[in-house]
Chains A and B, each alone.
Chain A
Amino acid sequence: MKRYAGVDSGSWNTKAIVIDDDARVLARAVVRSGADLAAAAESAFALALEGSGFHRADVEAVWATGFGRQSVAFADGSRTELDCHGRGAAFYVQGPMLVIDIGGQDAKVIRLDANGQRLAHRMNRKCAAGTGSFLDEIALRLGVEIDRLDALAAQSTEPLELSSFCTVFAGTELLTLIRAGKRPADLAMAAYRSLVKRVVAMDVLQGRVVATGGVVAYHPTMARLLGQEMHADVLVPPHPQEMGAFGAALAAREGAVSVGPEVPA
């Protein structure tokens, strides 16, 4: 029985996962990336190993993905997060599908065919950030912990609109609404809606939609709102935050070829 691992070095959080030969998840870990991506990758991997009960030597191969994938010195290979989120989602869900990955700093829409092959992708334009970073700012302004935001939004009664195209303008808009005395619960919900609107503008969302990434993991309302927007259920597969790492582990298992300087298969 062989084991494989994946590390997703994100701009906000580093995720690691250990799987067995049948792609069953043995353990997973999330640590803050902070300023030292290499160290965070080591930490996350060590934590996941600990959770799995295995040692590094027991792992056949570990692959990296994410913003800091080049910083994961111990990785045997790497694939972009575009590949890994798609690969991971396709393991759980039958295609064709759209995979929407909303992370800390960017959002992606990945289009897969019936065989789980990637057809196209769109990453959010530099300008129109629809990401976890925005929710972080909202939480800060409202004076709530980020993991309380979803529960707060559940108490919303008045539909409010944050119409701005861009995080920078939306920040000012939010302040204007606070100033006007709007309720925090309604503001939280408005923030979610605003995020969903920006994601929806990235691509034509039809057919099966799968949501991954840290934001849907911590903010279940997001998946629900996306579904409402599309008049269909949005599927949230297991461990959405670690989906990229899972995809990287799958890539390690499949011995997928790394694009770039030749890596022994």
Chain B
Amino acid sequence: MLEQGARAAAGVDVGTECVKAVVAGADGRILGRAVAPTRGYFQACSYEVLTAALDDAQLQPSDLTGVGATGFAMNCVRDATTTATEACCHALGAFHHAPHAMTLVDIGGRDPHVMHVDEDGRRVDARGVRRCAVGIGSFLMFAARHLDVAPASLQELAAGAATPASVSSYCSVFSGGEVLERLREGATREEVALGCLHSVAERIVEIGGFSAPIVVCGGVVEFFPGVLHALENLSGVPVRAVPDAIYTGALGAALRALQ
């Protein structure tokens, strides 16, 4: 239950791999959250996830001041009162946790971005990954299938390797082929799993523009912390992830709805 006069808003981030929803109070504190894989119609998925987040917060739709939507399919959120770009929402969400100028790296399912945020939380610029290298989530799913593990277990598998097998970063299709080639050549599943995380990190480092402090958000680092380590190794700059990294966009959308 909300206190008298307290405001809350929901944020829904409809991504290509997962739909995320949060319910946040006016101070930006997350009161409830939910996430589910994006399957079939975005409209149905986003409704279900929003409902689940409200349940988690033990609130009703009528308690909400507004519903912010963002993500690839933001226009599929039926009850949205406001929409904003992913870049805007990620910046808002991350700035809430890290209120300072930063390089913000959003690593989601499709299309990683590197953006610069100034000391007021404003986005200065944003650059995406090269078009051939999109599809981070589907690449990791593909890798998981060929490594005979559930996607959620890929990180655990990778943690068992000392060195990564070489998996390139040029193109998601090529990388998929290389996963198979490395296995055939005798690399262990662990090494290939780690190699996949490195491939993802490489694609992001290639975007360029890395300057400290670097903050990372998005679902990939939540499920695959190995990507974070790989990013640090490759860029040579310390990298930290925001808490609730996968919900950053949704939080930002909720904050927008509260404005």
The reply on A126 being an interface residue by CB < 8 A is yes
Q: Which residue of A lies closest to B133 (CB)?
A: A168
Chain B interface size, under 10 / 10 to 19 / 20 to 34 / 35 or more:
20 to 34
From residue A12, how far is it (CB to closest CB) to chain B in Å?
Answer: 8
Min CB gap A84→B, angstroms? 18
Contact with A along B164-199 (1 / 0, CB 8 A): 000000011110110010011000010010000000
A260 contacts partner chain B, Cβ-Cβ < 8 Å: no
Q: With A35-B147, A140-B141 known to touch, is A168 a contact of B134 (CB < 8 Å)?
A: yes
Interface of B is mostly: helix
Contact call B173/A34, Cβ cutoff below 8 A: no
If A34-B146, A133-B142 touch, does A172 touch B76 (CB 8 Å cutoff)? no
Over the window 101-136 of chain B, the binary record of Cβ atoms lying under 8 Å from chain A Cβ atoms (1 yes, 0 no) is 000000000100000000000000000000110110
State how many angstroms separate the Cβ of B184 from the closest Cβ of chain A. Answer: 5
A84 to B184, alpha carbons, bound, how many Å?
20
Q: Known contacts A67-B184, A166-B173; is A179 also within 8 Å of B138 by CB?
A: no
Kindly state whether residue B73 has any CB partner on chain A within 8 Å: yes
Say if the beta carbon of A259 comes within 8 Å of chain B.
no
8 additional A-B residue pairs with CB within 8 Å, beyond A35-B183, A178-B42: A11-B177, A35-B192, A133-B176, A140-B39, A141-B39, A171-B134, A172-B110, A179-B73
Assess A178 versus B41: contact at CB under 8 Å? Given A37-B183, A71-B184: yes
CB distance from B37 to the nearest CB of A (A): 9
Contact with A along B79-116 (1 / 0, CB 8 A): 00000000000000000000000000000001000000
- Give the chain B neighbours of A35 by CB distance below 8 A: 146-148, 183, 189, 192
* Nearest chain A CB to B228 CB, angstrom units: 24
Give how many A residues have a beta carbon under 8 Å from the other chain's beta carbons.
30
CA distance A239 to B83 in the complex (A): 52
Interface flag for A127 (CB, 8 Å): yes
Chain A contacts to B: CB under 8 angstroms: 11, 34-37, 67-68, 70-71, 105, 126-127, 129, 133, 137, 140-143, 166-169, 171-172, 175, 178-179, 181, 184
Select from chain B the residue with minimum beta-carbon distance to A69.
Answer: B184
- Residues of A close to B146: CB separation below 8 A: 11, 34-35
| Contact assessment for A168 and B171 in the assembled complex, using a CB-CB cutoff below 8 Å | yes
B72 interface hit (Cβ, 8 Å) = yes
A selection of 8 A-B contacts at a CB cut-off of 8 Å is A35-B146, A37-B183, A67-B180, A137-B138, A143-B39, A166-B132, A168-B135, A172-B110
Cα A148 to Cα B258 in complex, Å, equals 44
B interface residues (Cβ-Cβ under 8 A, vs A): 16, 39-43, 72-73, 75-76, 110, 131-132, 134-135, 138, 141-142, 146-148, 171-174, 176-177, 180, 183-184, 189, 192
Taking a contact as CB atoms closer than 8 A, the residue among A36, A37, A126, A178 that contacts B173 in the complex is A126
**Cβ contact of B40, chosen from A126, A127, A143, A172, cutoff 8 A:** A143
Q: Which residues of B contact A11 (CB under 8 A)?
A: 146, 177, 180
In contact, B172 and A168 (Cβ under 8 angstroms): yes
Cα-based distance from A126 to B176 in the complex (angstroms): 11
A167 near B173: Cβ-Cβ < 8 Å = yes
Q: Report the minimum CB–CB distance from A108 to chain B (whole Å).
A: 15
For residue A105, which residues in chain B have a CB less than 8 angstroms away from its CB?
176-177, 180
Is A127 in contact with B173, judged by CB distance below 8 angstroms? yes
Give the docked Cα–Cα distance between A166 and B171 (Å): 10
Knowing A35-B146, A68-B184, A172-B134, say if A179 contacts B40 (CB, 8 Å): no
| Residues of A contacting B148 in the complex (Cβ-Cβ under 8 angstroms) | 34-35
Taking the closest CB of chain A, its distance from the CB of B232, in whole angstroms, is 27
- Cα distance A133–B180 in the bound complex, in angstroms: 13
- In the complex formed, the residue of B with least CB distance to A9 is B184
In the bound assembly, the distance between CA atoms of A167 and B147 in angstroms comes to 21
CB A107 to nearest CB in B, in angstroms, measures 13
Separation of A184 and B39 alpha carbons in the complex (Å)? 11
Contact A171 B138 (CB under 8 A): yes
